[in-house]
């Protein structure tokens, strides 16, 4: 409860809740929406928050106790609620207006007992939506009130819906109070007389009850916030203009509540004729437009009824000493009477009460005739800005003059949705426009032309809305991509060019980019763009098309393809992409003006983003050794900035997108994690003018032989990194100086510095350059580097030790124990094994016997083999593992036999199963309706096995990957699920739903699960849990998994969609079966009837 009203969330209703299409339902009730009692919401909330209601329950409405002083701990069923409602209606009394507030009279509101059955606690949900539609509210806003708005995300809906719903409720209240055509205040009561007659009520009782429930039109002005008196503080601050005369008596809800006098407004000229109650046959309740007059001296009229005052009587005689003011009708005053509810004039001043929201204005009498100028003080430029760009484009396209456009806009027709809903047919639209603008098209040819142009715009609006809604629905269903129409694009372009001036095709975004942004804005879900998709109108000159098959109609559809370009390669291209994105958001804003998170300065916000990314802190950053960030790192960091900004808008952390971009640029964690750390770890490039040297990486192979050259390579240098072209003095380097012979020119104009380290020596003599010694084919030279000594080499792929020979397959130099830890470990273990054998055997004699073939059995005893095995294992344990191996986390199983369906599993926490966590749950028709969707439960054994794996992941948990991904494994005796989890692909239901939920859970944790197959005998513990055998486990270690209360991430939605699909298939099959059985069988032949004739 707040100053704006009541807001909350319904977690579970008949149509919303777990497993339903919409998970939750936010509710909003404005405290400014009321007819008579302004404190009804606060009083009801105080009752709801009282101690009698504060008990735990899973239902909404409890039953009251006998005396109605508290609530019982029992749910109010429909029958009990209906009985209580009838009892409540019997206690109601008629409301009465005393001139200032509404009071309850002593007369009962319900006179006929049969009228209590007229209300059945089933309200019309479309009533409020119908009222808003009649007021011209667009459909996208009405969906918030009618609950047809699909919630993509809870935070987006709540952030947007609160303001929209409260505003629409207040607008609907004003529309009901000011309605004179449909009588919405008494809506639904037209069926009451026939209802009472069917239940045997007399005609007199029927008429009396109907009149008691009908609200008189004269009291329409007393409804809503406009009749609430201001508080003392505001009243004291208001200027003293006149004293309000007290009302003479309380207006009861019977014959006395009719005013003694009233003014009827009739005809096109809006003539005001004064009547007296009971003076003639005219009844005030039957008039279409009437102003009540409580005191005759305050009456405003043009003429008096000659039947109410006969024989030359003057209405002033009934007013006593007070004089009756008679005014002539003027255009300003007639416009005022349309919007005012009640009029009271005195000799000095006039108090006019009219409602705009919840504001009550008091105006002096001298300003009444100038009201039309005050009510419409908006300038022409402001009205043109207020109108939507789509409607202005259609108006300009057909050639509607600006003056006529302003007439339309000042009447509230400022959007395509509103103008298309003026009326249903062209004749009705013509009459409506002629009356409302006004535009008398019968006067001259120019007026007829203007009316014809407006009708053309009306037709265009209806066609555009039809095509747009169809495309929007198909894009949500995935049948077709969102398409931006040519007129729609032209309207948005004109609106943006009016703000920024003329724009080139290279700056303007393409239609495909605008289509993506339109979908995101309609769903309030901005998503980061790929810079390759930020194409311009120039890039999409030749629009691509793609062919897809519509799954609903099995037809081939041709739809616009996706327009892409290359990523930006220069700072200017990146700046242009940012400007293009800003213009795209500005164009969308011109169409969706109600999106508060799209500021008017969105283009400037993207310009500031370009300045930050391409400034000294990011792209211009330079390390001490001359390194600069790589361009790929800059683009990645820029993408993370936009991603953080869009996420802030979706979460509601900032007010608009411009502020979100500014906050993302100032975020220290984003700058450190996505830019500083990668730049420090190697995300950099060599500076163009740096003089520092970088060591060459170990193990660099070299450039190779080259084309048609021999592999002598003696004395050649290995080109490890790019060489410099300019010297430290700013001159070009001399290439002849880099050779061993040196530069022969004494007056060389080039710089004599090393290309590698920029020192005063040649490249061939540079100590940082690695030189290679040639390998010969005769095997006389051992592989070596430029070092004086080279460690011994353990031959890789060859038997024994010795000089390394040349091999095209293995390269110039084989791996040695010095630079390969695995070879060094193997060499050490081999040496230890040789020592062991030398101590117990004559190795030389054994080798001779082996060569002669005289050894036919194992020459080693069991003790020698055991000692060698222990030596190897001891060496392995001392070396340790190179990396952590995968550990099996849990094992699961499932069983389905008839109605007995169980899932179970246990975590491998300890060798003793009593110290391990475990779970075992039974599934039934109630908590697992999908289990029996396709027949017997045993058909879903694969789904049950995967559900057990999902339950183990949720209950036992898996390691979370801090950096990268973590591999873990689990066991199951279902071989098919091992392949399903490995591929993450299946089309079987409900197996696909559980697989998607498992994949989503693992993705959040950054974990990769490998499901291994186990034979049944190795999975006996999990099998025992599914059979109800818990003897090997401790009850204190048991974990419970309630599938009915488990929400998951995508599981409930996927299971609900799957069950709906099965229901549709079942209905279709039943219809086909009925159709097949309804066909008459063919006539039987005589041979079939009587085969013995």
pLDDT tens for each residue of 294-331: 777 667 788 888 778 876 677 765 554 433 433 333 33
Q: Residue 693 burial (CB < 10 Å; 0-12/13-18/19+)? A: middle
Domains of the chain: 5-209 (no CATH), 258-375 (no CATH), 378-477 (no CATH), 479-679 (no CATH), 715-772 (no CATH), 785-819 (no CATH), 821-853+861-879 (no CATH), 888-1061 (3.30.420.10)
Is the CB of residue 966 less than 8 Å from the CB of residue 1007?
Answer: yes
> Average pLDDT for residues 181-190, to the nearest whole number?
72
Residue that wins the pLDDT comparison between 168 and 230? 168
pLDDT digits (tens, 9 = 90+) for 509-547: 888 888 888 888 888 888 888 888 888 888 776 555 555
Instruction: Give the DSSP per-residue string, 401-450.
Output: -HHHHHHHHHTT--SHHHHHTS-SSHHHHHHHHHHHTT--TTS-HHHHHH
Task: State percent of the chain over pLDDT 90.
Answer: 3
- Give the mean pLDDT of the chain: 72
pLDDT of 250:
33
> Average pLDDT for residues 240-249, to the nearest whole number?
35
> Average pLDDT for residues 924-945, to the nearest whole number?
72
pLDDT of 348:
29
pLDDT higher than 90, residue 917: yes
Rounded alpha-carbon distances, angstroms, from residue 1008 to 905, 906, 957: 19, 20, 13
Task: Look at 511-525, 641-655, 796-810 and tell me which has the smallest mean pLDDT.
Answer: 796-810
pLDDT of 609:
92
pLDDT of 883:
56
Task: Look at 90-94, 118-122, 515-519 and tell me which has the smallest mean pLDDT.
Answer: 118-122
Phi/psi at 76 (nearest 5 deg)?
Answer: -85, 105
Is the CB of residue 580 less than 8 Å from the CB of residue 508?
Answer: yes
pLDDT higher than 50, residue 808: no
What is the band of 881 on the pLDDT scale with cuts at 50, 70, 90? Answer: low
pLDDT digits (tens, 9 = 90+) for 352-401: 233 333 333 333 333 333 333 333 445 777 777 777 777 887 888 888 88
Task: State percent of the chain over pLDDT 70.
Answer: 69
Task: Look at 304-308, 646-650, 660-664, 1077-1081 and tell me which has the smallest mean pLDDT.
Answer: 1077-1081
Instruction: Give the DSSP per-residue string, 437-494.
Output: TT--TTS-HHHHHHHHHHHHHHHHHHHHHHHHHHHHHHHHHTSS-----HHHHHHHHH
pLDDT digits (tens, 9 = 90+) for 257-275: 457 788 888 776 677 888 8
**R_g over Cα of the chain:** 44
Instruction: Give the DSSP per-residue string, 974-1028.
Output: -HHHHHHHHHT----TTHHHHHHHHHHHHHHHTEEEEEEE--GGGGHHHHHHHTT
Gap between the Cα atoms of 184 and 175, Å rounded: 9
Gap between the Cα atoms of 150 and 135, Å rounded: 23
| Residue of 112, 120, 130 whose CA lies nearest to 193 | 112
What end-to-end distance do the CA atoms of the chain give, in Å?
91
What is the band of 504 on the pLDDT scale with cuts at 50, 70, 90? Answer: confident
pLDDT of 1079:
60
Residue that wins the pLDDT comparison between 690 and 1046? 1046
Structure tokens given for 922: 């039974």
pLDDT of 934:
59
pLDDT of 816:
58
Structure tokens given for 337: 């009477």
What is the band of 422 on the pLDDT scale with cuts at 50, 70, 90? Answer: confident
| DSSP SS3 for 613 | helix
Whether the CA torsion 705, 709, 711, 716 is positive or negative: it is negative
pLDDT digits (tens, 9 = 90+) for 694-741: 343 433 444 444 444 444 444 444 444 446 777 877 788 888 888 888
What is the band of 905 on the pLDDT scale with cuts at 50, 70, 90? Answer: very high
pLDDT of 478:
54
pLDDT of 547:
56
pLDDT of 339:
35
| DSSP SS3 for 1069 | helix
> Average pLDDT for residues 684-690, to the nearest whole number?
45
Structure tokens given for 404: 């006529």
pLDDT higher than 90, residue 442: no
Q: Virtual CA dihedral for 597, 601, 605, 608, nearest 10 degrees? A: -160
Is the CB of residue 846 less than 8 Å from the CB of residue 853?
Answer: no
pLDDT of 765:
84
pLDDT digits (tens, 9 = 90+) for 1001-1029: 888 887 777 777 777 777 888 888 988 88
Rounded alpha-carbon distances, angstroms, from residue 102 to 105, 209, 228, 510, 903: 10, 21, 10, 60, 65
Residue that wins the pLDDT comparison between 63 and 25? 63
Structure tokens given for 191: 């069926």
pLDDT higher than 50, residue 793: no
Burial 394-412 (b: 16+ CB within 10 A, else e): bbeeeebeeebbebbbeee
Phi/psi at 768 (nearest 5 deg)?
Answer: -85, -5
Residue that wins the pLDDT comparison between 148 and 621? 621
pLDDT higher than 70, residue 501: yes
SS (H, E, C) 58-87: CCCCEEECCCCCCEEEEECCHHHHHHHHHH
pLDDT digits (tens, 9 = 90+) for 977-1003: 778 888 788 878 788 888 888 888 888
pLDDT of 364:
35
| DSSP SS3 for 353 | strand
């Amino acid at each position: 409860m707040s100053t704006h009203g009541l807001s909350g969330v319904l977690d579970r209703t008949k149509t919303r809740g777990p497993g339903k299409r919409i998970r939750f339902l936010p509710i909003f009730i404005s405290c400014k929406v009321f007819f008579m009692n302004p404190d009804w919401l606060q009083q009801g909330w105080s009752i709801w928050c009282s101690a009698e209601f504060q008990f735990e329950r899973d239902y909404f409405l409890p039953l009251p106790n006998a005396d109605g002083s508290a609530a019982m701990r029992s749910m109010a069923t429909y029958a009990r609620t209906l009985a209580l409602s009838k009892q409540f209606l019997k206690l109601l009394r008629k409301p009465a207006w005393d001139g200032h507030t509404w009071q309850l009279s002593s007369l009962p509101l319900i006179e006929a007992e049969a009228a209590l059955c007229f209300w059945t606690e089933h309200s019309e949900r479309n009533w409020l939506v119908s009222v808003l539609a009649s007021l011209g509210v667009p459909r996208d806003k009405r969906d918030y009130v009618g609950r047809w708005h699909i919630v993509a995300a809870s935070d987006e809906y709540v952030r947007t819906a609160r303001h929209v719903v409260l505003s629409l409720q207040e607008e609907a209240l004003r529309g009901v109070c000011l309605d004179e055509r449909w009588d919405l205040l008494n809506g639904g009561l037209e069926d009451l007389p026939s209802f009472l007659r069917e239940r045997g009520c007399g005609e007199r009782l029927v008429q009396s009850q109907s009149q008691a429930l009908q609200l008189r039109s004269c009291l329409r002005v007393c409804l809503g916030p406009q009749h609430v008196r201001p508080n003392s503080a505001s009243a004291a601050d208001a200027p003293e203009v006149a004293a309000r005369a007290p009302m003479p008596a309380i207006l009861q809800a019977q014959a006395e509540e009719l005013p003694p006098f009233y003014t009827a407004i009739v005809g096109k000229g809006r003539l005001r004729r004064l009547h007296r109650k009971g003076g003639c046959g005219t009844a005030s309740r039957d008039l279409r437009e009437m102003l009540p007059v409580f005191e005759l001296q305050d009456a405003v009229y043009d003429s008096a009824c000659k039947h109410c005052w006969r024989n030359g009587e003057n209405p002033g005689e009934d007013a006593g000493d007070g004089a009756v003011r008679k005014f002539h009708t003027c255009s300003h005053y007639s416009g005022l009477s349309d919007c005012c509810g009640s009029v009271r004039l005195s000799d000095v001043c006039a108090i006019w009460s009219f409602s705009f929201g919840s504001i009550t204005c008091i105006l002096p009498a001298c300003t009444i005739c100038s009201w039309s100028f005050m009510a419409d003080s908006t300038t022409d430029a402001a009205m043109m800005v207020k109108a939507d760009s789509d409607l202005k484009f259609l108006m300009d396209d057909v050639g509607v003059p600006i003056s006529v456009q302003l007439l339309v806009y000042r009447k509230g027709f400022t959007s395509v949705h509103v103008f298309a809903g003026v009326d249903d047919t062209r004749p009705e639209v013509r009459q409506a426009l002629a009356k409302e603008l006004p535009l008398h098209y019968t006067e001259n040819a120019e007026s007829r032309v203007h009316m014809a142009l407006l009708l053309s715009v009306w037709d265009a609006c209806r066609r555009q809305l039809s095509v747009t809604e169809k495309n929007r629905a198909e894009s949500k269903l995935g049948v077709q991509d969102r398409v931006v129409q040519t007129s729609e694009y032209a309207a948005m372009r004109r609106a943006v060019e009016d703000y920024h001036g003329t724009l080139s095709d290279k700056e303007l975004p393409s239609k495909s980019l605008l289509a993506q942004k339109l979908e995101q804005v309609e769903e309030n879900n901005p998503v980061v763009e790929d810079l390759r998709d930020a194409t311009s109108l120039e890039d999409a000159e030749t629009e691509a098309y793609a062919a897809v098959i519509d799954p609903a109609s099995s037809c081939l559809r041709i739809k616009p393809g996706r327009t892409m370009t290359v990523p930006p390669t220069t700072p200017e291209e990146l700046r242009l992409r940012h400007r293009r994105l800003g213009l795209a958001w500005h164009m969308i804003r011109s169409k969706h003006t109600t999106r508060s998170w799209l500021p008017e300065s969105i283009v400037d916000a993207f310009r500031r983003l370009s300045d930050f990314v391409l400034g000294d802190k990011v792209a211009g950053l330079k390390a001490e050794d001359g390194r600069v960030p790589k361009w790929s790192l800059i683009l990645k960091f820029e993408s993370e900035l936009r991603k953080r900004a869009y996420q802030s808008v979706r979460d509601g952390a900032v007010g608009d997108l411009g502020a979100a971009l500014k906050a993302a640029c100032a975020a220290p964690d984003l700058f450190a994690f996505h830019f500083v750390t990668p730049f420090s770890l190697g995300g950099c490039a060599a500076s163009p003018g740096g003089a520092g040297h970088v060591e060459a990486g170990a193990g660099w192979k070299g450039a190779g032989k080259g084309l048609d050259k021999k592999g002598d390579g003696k004395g050649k240098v290995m080109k490890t990194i790019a060489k410099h072209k300019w010297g430290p003095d700013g001159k070009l380097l001399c290439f002849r100086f880099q050779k061993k012979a040196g530069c022969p020119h004494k007056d060389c104009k080039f710089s004599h510095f090393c290309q590698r380290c920029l020192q005063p020596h040649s490249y061939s003599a540079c100590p940082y350059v690695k030189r290679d010694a040639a390998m010969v084919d005769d095997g006389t030279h051992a592989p070596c580097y430029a070092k004086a000594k080279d460690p011994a080499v353990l031959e890789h792929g060859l038997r024994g030790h010795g000089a390394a020979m040349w091999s095209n397959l293995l390269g110039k130099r084989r791996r040695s124990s010095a630079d390969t830890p695995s070879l060094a470990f193997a060499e050490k273990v081999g040496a230890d094994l040789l020592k062991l054998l030398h101590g117990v055997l004559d190795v030389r004699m054994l080798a001779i016997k082996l060569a002669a073939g005289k050894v036919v059995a194992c020459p080693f005893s069991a003790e020698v083999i055991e000692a060698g095995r222990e030596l190897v294992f001891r060496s392995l344990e001392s070396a340790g593992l190179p990396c952590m191996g995968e550990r099996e986390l849990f094992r699961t199983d499932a069983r389905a036999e008839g109605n007995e369906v169980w899932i179970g599993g246990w975590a491998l926490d300890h060798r003793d199963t009593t110290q391990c966590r475990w779970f075992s749950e039974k599934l039934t028709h109630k908590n697992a309706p999908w289990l029996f969707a396709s027949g017997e439960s045993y058909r879903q054994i694969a789904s049950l096995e995967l559900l057990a794996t999902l339950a183990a992941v949720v209950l036992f948990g898996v390691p979370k990957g801090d950096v990268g991904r973590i591999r873990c494994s689990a066991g199951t005796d279902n071989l098919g699920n091992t392949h399903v989890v490995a591929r993450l692909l299946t089309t079987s239901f409900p197996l696909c739903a559980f697989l998607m939920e498992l994949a989503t859970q693992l993705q959040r944790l950054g974990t990769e699960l490998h499901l291994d197959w186990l034979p049944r005998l190795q999975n006996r513990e999990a099998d025992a849990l599914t059979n109800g055998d818990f003897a090997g486990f401790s009850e204190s270690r048991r974990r419970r998994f309630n599938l009915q209360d488990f929400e998951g991430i995508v599981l409930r939605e996927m299971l609900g969609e799957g069950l709906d699909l099965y229901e549709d298939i079942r209905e279709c099959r039943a219809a086909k079966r009925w159709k097949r059985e309804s066909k008459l069988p063919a006539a039987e032949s005589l041979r079939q009837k009587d085969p013995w004739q």
